[in-house]
A and B are shown apart, each in its own frame.
Chain A
């Protein structure tokens, strides 16, 4: 029982990282029906950029700079990879372009920071706390708190600020929002910026408990997509639940089967959910006029 609780506790922290990245997918999907296939690289670049800053200004001061970095990165991805493709109505175009940008980012990162995984200094003590027989790393608590705080902040931004309201309006009906004088183009850029910012922040949160490197984000991003699908690309609370389910499922697989297989449940879940739940033509779009 204690082992199970322990596994669940560790799974929650990983799950919140997935939730944060999946939340980023939702943001861009809502405004433009597109996703950044290089989301994992945004996460890795955020972590590596943070790693470079930590020796100079420490972990806590580094975070706002990483947020700014992620924000700018998202804007670059949207401008170079998404906007031109959406303009020529090419779905293949934006999928390939965001993948290409992801590859470029990863390759450049490898050339700057090297191909080996690096150790990210932990800002909190690395001795585990004992809570009722369960060992919890302080960093894991920080991950959960940080991810929740990030999502909460974006939600508040969406509900309270005028730009956030523009994001919500664009998500509901991009044409109507455009007719109401909202610059939907800018809103989409903004959503990409916030999305990449979330990913970069998730990067510096997760880096102290894993290793940091150019390839750290690829599988994380794929599994976060599984979370976004499980939780629903439209529902904010769904990704938290989906993230927790997947995080726990993974630590359980890692413990009871083999750590080599720990990525499998998420990917299988993605395949199964998409095979059973019809999306697109036979899903919500059925009521589309023919």
Chain B
């Protein structure tokens, strides 16, 4: 049984600025040409080597951006992963005389395994805990490299010979580009690795995987409730990130031709984080810019004359920008004085010092503070904000802004089965409080079932029990599926979502930094069949799927009346539209049962009218709806059946009219007149 509905509103695809779609391509071409001609323009081997280091760091930082930018976790363990990759390559040479290519394979393989290891604690903890865990991981790696002398040669480190990239002697030939060209082989290998990394990261972050990463960052709970397991996708993110760190590490070992335990410590990890934040998260250009900054910085600082000139320029710029802002803005004037003062003070400080090399880390520390407070979106984010044409156009990717396919496809899961959902004696206890004290509930298919009750009566608790966010203390929840039935209690939210139960949230839980279209695409995650390799290789199956699902997502957006807002970030939508988007996202799961938690809260009267129309259409498509709502006119107008909760007990059930007339319901909402009289007489 599949029903099709006409779009509620004609689609009005926003014309993507043509320039922005080409910016990425233009950047890529510039990068390729730049990398190709660089060693022929600048022949100094010192600068070629510097370029190699920048490219290697950029590979790692692009990977770090997946963890920091996309999944929003702080990792202080990436220098450790980098070290693991470098040592994997070096140890392979030390013990087995295996060269560069084996080293790269080993670096990626071993480091990915460590990525899984690092993901285990990361699954459970976030924020400062995760930062400490990853820091501990990095420290342990360093200790083991130092102590496992038989394997790693301990504190002495391992020296490697010049890397042999291509071995022409195997086929009995001379290198066609001569001795001078041979020296550049490694340079070009690293460049290719960088370009491949950019391509892979680009494809992964625009695939369902990348959307899952962003979704778990913005709202882990909603992510689970969309059937996207936070657990699984965090592992993916860490493994991809670790694999790139391993690739970078192996290349670094062969580029420096020397590995030592102390090169992979805390300072390096902080530098990587500085690079990713300063360059700009969630972009390809950002990590490359960041990498260039952290590699060049020590060289710049070594030249005191250059530092003085730069400090002078910074001071001048700070003075100009500061005084302009001081004149223009009335509020927060004095908040500006601190950064401006610091920038000004930097100049005389450099004049006083003979050398700033010893204060390298202080400069880096100040840069971190500056970036965190005044440039939180990095250089790329700042430029994008100033020049709208440079904003990412990936939302327009595929150009399939036309709607196609059925917005709703009700599944035959519950057809014929009656009731669809059975809750038997659900008990939910928090300490001494029984939020649900043994509630029975049966929901018949194809109906809108209202769940009402005063504040604190257990409605939302019921919702959380049904969707697996809470595990009920006792009692059962059963969903009819086809001929059989499925127990839902004790399952994870993502399993329950996969079984066909979708929900919205009382306090909106959208993926804030993603567009409306992407939000719906996360809901459609279940219909993507492509694997990670499809995503990385960009196979035809992957492209076809993406095209189809984007069209389907547009159909859903049209259905909830958001077709024209498809490319707007969720956080920028008006509140009423955010609520509708949540419903659209839930519908993308193709649910048999849709739970709406106070969808009308805070909506204006016209919005509520629109909402009731949509809910009716959803019911008419054969999707069963459970509606929690405080607007009684909405409840009475929509619901086929209403259950009333009070203090965790079900006190009434019946049609809207019956419930309205029930004295117990009136009492629960308004209090008992009898009790008042009694106290008055007493």
Q: A218-B266, A287-B430, A290-B505 are in contact. Are A100 and B368 (CB under 8 A)?
A: yes
Q: Which chain B residues lie closer than 8 Å to A229 at the CB level?
A: 129, 132
Which of B128, B146, B506 touches A289 (beta carbons < 8 Å)? B506
Which of A97, A103, A218, A271 touches B372 (beta carbons < 8 Å)? A97
Q: Is B267 an interface residue (CB 8 A)?
A: yes
Complex interface residues of chain A between 79 and 124 (CB less than 8 A to chain B): 80-81, 84-85, 88, 90-93, 95-97, 99-104, 106-108, 110-111
Q: Which chain A residues lie closer than 8 Å to B74 at the CB level?
A: 91-92, 95-96
Q: Which chain B residues lie closer than 8 Å to A290 at the CB level?
A: 221, 460, 463-464, 469, 505-507, 509
Complex interface residues of chain A between 249 and 278 (CB less than 8 A to chain B): 258, 260-261, 263-264, 267-268, 270-271, 274-278
Q: Is B470 an interface residue (CB 8 A)?
A: yes
In whole angstroms, what is the CA distance A261 to B139 when docked?
11
Q: Which chain B residues lie closer than 8 Å to A206 at the CB level?
A: none
In which size bucket is the chain B interface?
A: 35 or more
Shortest distance between the CB of B660 and any CB in chain A (Å): 28
Shortest distance between the CB of B331 and any CB in chain A (Å): 14
State whether A100 touches B124 (Cβ < 8 A). no
State whether A289 touches B361 (Cβ < 8 A). no
Shortest distance between the CB of B139 and any CB in chain A (Å): 6
Chain B minimum-CB-distance residue to A98: B128
State whether B460 touches A270 (Cβ < 8 A). no
Q: Is B127 an interface residue (CB 8 A)?
A: yes
State whether A103 touches B124 (Cβ < 8 A). no
Shortest distance between the CB of A155 and any CB in chain B (Å): 24
In whole angstroms, what is the CA distance A33 to B464 when docked?
26
In whole angstroms, what is the CA distance A225 to B376 when docked?
27
Which of A80, A95, A261, A287 touches B131 (beta carbons < 8 Å)? A95
Q: Is B135 an interface residue (CB 8 A)?
A: yes
Q: Is A55 an interface residue (CB 8 A)?
A: no
In whole angstroms, what is the CA distance A218 to B139 when docked?
10
State whether A279 touches B129 (Cβ < 8 A). yes
In whole angstroms, what is the CA distance A110 to B267 when docked?
14
Shortest distance between the CB of B78 and any CB in chain A (Å): 14
Q: Is A20 an interface residue (CB 8 A)?
A: no
Shortest distance between the CB of B277 and any CB in chain A (Å): 7
Q: Which chain A residues lie closer than 8 Å to B220 at the CB level?
A: 281
State whether A100 touches B369 (Cβ < 8 A). yes
Q: Which chain A residues lie closer than 8 Å to B365 at the CB level?
A: 100-104, 107
State whether A95 touches B366 (Cβ < 8 A). no
In whole angstroms, what is the CA distance A37 to B270 when docked?
12
State whether B146 touches A271 (Cβ < 8 A). no
Q: Is A162 an interface residue (CB 8 A)?
A: no
Shortest distance between the CB of A227 and any CB in chain B (Å): 12
Q: A90-B376, A97-B369 are in contact. Are A111 and B430 (CB under 8 A)?
A: no
Q: Is B126 an interface residue (CB 8 A)?
A: yes
In whole angstroms, what is the CA distance A226 to B140 when docked?
13
State whether A96 touches B277 (Cβ < 8 A). yes
Give A206-238 as 1s and 0s: 1 = Cβ < 8 Å from B's Cβ atoms. 000000000000110010011001000000000
In whole angstroms, what is the CA distance A34 to B266 when docked?
20
Q: Is B136 an interface residue (CB 8 A)?
A: yes
Which of B136, B360, B507 touches A271 (beta carbons < 8 Å)? B136
Q: Is A286 an interface residue (CB 8 A)?
A: yes
In which size bucket is the chain A interface?
A: 35 or more
Shortest distance between the CB of A267 and any CB in chain B (Å): 4
Chain A minimum-CB-distance residue to B373: A84
In whole angstroms, what is the CA distance A196 to B137 when docked?
25
Give B119-163 as 1s and 0s: 1 = Cβ < 8 Å from A's Cβ atoms. 011011111110111011101100110110000000000000000
State whether A280 touches B129 (Cβ < 8 A). yes
State whether B128 touches A34 (Cβ < 8 A). yes
State whether A108 touches B146 (Cβ < 8 A). no
State whether B143 touches A289 (Cβ < 8 A). no
Chain A minimum-CB-distance residue to B224: A281
In whole angstroms, what is the CA distance A277 to B128 when docked?
15
Shortest distance between the CB of A271 and any CB in chain B (Å): 5
In whole angstroms, what is the CA distance A268 to B137 when docked?
8
In whole angstroms, what is the CA distance A268 to B117 when docked?
12
Q: Is A48 an interface residue (CB 8 A)?
A: no
Q: Which chain A residues lie closer than 8 Å to B361 at the CB level?
A: 103-104, 106-107
Q: Which chain A residues lie closer than 8 Å to B509 at the CB level?
A: 290
Shortest distance between the CB of B468 and any CB in chain A (Å): 11
Q: Which chain B residues lie closer than 8 Å to A73 at the CB level?
A: none
Shortest distance between the CB of B216 and any CB in chain A (Å): 11
Which of B125, B147, B362 touches A108 (beta carbons < 8 Å)? B362
Complex interface residues of chain B between 458 and 495 (CB less than 8 A to chain A): 460, 463-464, 469-470
State whether B460 touches A90 (Cβ < 8 A). no
Chain B minimum-CB-distance residue to A266: B136
Give B242-278 as 1s and 0s: 1 = Cβ < 8 Å from A's Cβ atoms. 0000000000000000000000001100100100010
Chain A minimum-CB-distance residue to B273: A96
Q: Which chain B residues lie closer than 8 Å to A111 at the CB level?
A: 358-359
Q: Which chain B residues lie closer than 8 Å to A51 at the CB level?
A: none
Complex interface residues of chain A between 129 and 153 (CB less than 8 A to chain B): none
Chain A minimum-CB-distance residue to B358: A111
If A95-B128, A222-B139, A260-B143 are given as contacts, then 18 extra A-B residue pairs at C-beta distance below 8 Å, sorted by A number, are A91-B127, A96-B273, A96-B368, A101-B369, A103-B361, A103-B362, A103-B365, A107-B359, A264-B144, A270-B132, A274-B124, A275-B120, A278-B125, A279-B124, A280-B124, A280-B127, A287-B430, A290-B221
**Chain B interface residues (CB < 8 Å from chain A):** 68, 72, 74, 120-121, 123-129, 131-133, 135-137, 139-140, 143-144, 146-147, 220-221, 266-267, 270, 273, 277, 358-362, 364-366, 368-369, 372-373, 376, 430, 460, 463-464, 469-470, 505-507, 509
A-B contacts, 25 listed (Cβ < 8 Å) = A34-B128, A85-B372, A95-B74, A97-B369, A97-B372, A99-B368, A100-B372, A103-B364, A103-B368, A104-B361, A107-B365, A222-B132, A222-B135, A222-B136, A258-B147, A260-B147, A261-B147, A267-B140, A274-B124, A278-B125, A280-B124, A282-B124, A287-B430, A289-B506, A290-B460
Pick the 9 closest A-B CB pairs, nearest first.
A100-B368, A104-B365, A107-B361, A267-B136, A260-B147, A103-B365, A100-B365, A275-B121, A107-B362
**Chain A interface residues (CB < 8 Å from chain B):** 34-35, 37, 80-81, 84-85, 88, 90-93, 95-97, 99-104, 106-108, 110-111, 218-219, 222, 225-226, 229, 258, 260-261, 263-264, 267-268, 270-271, 274-282, 286-287, 289-290
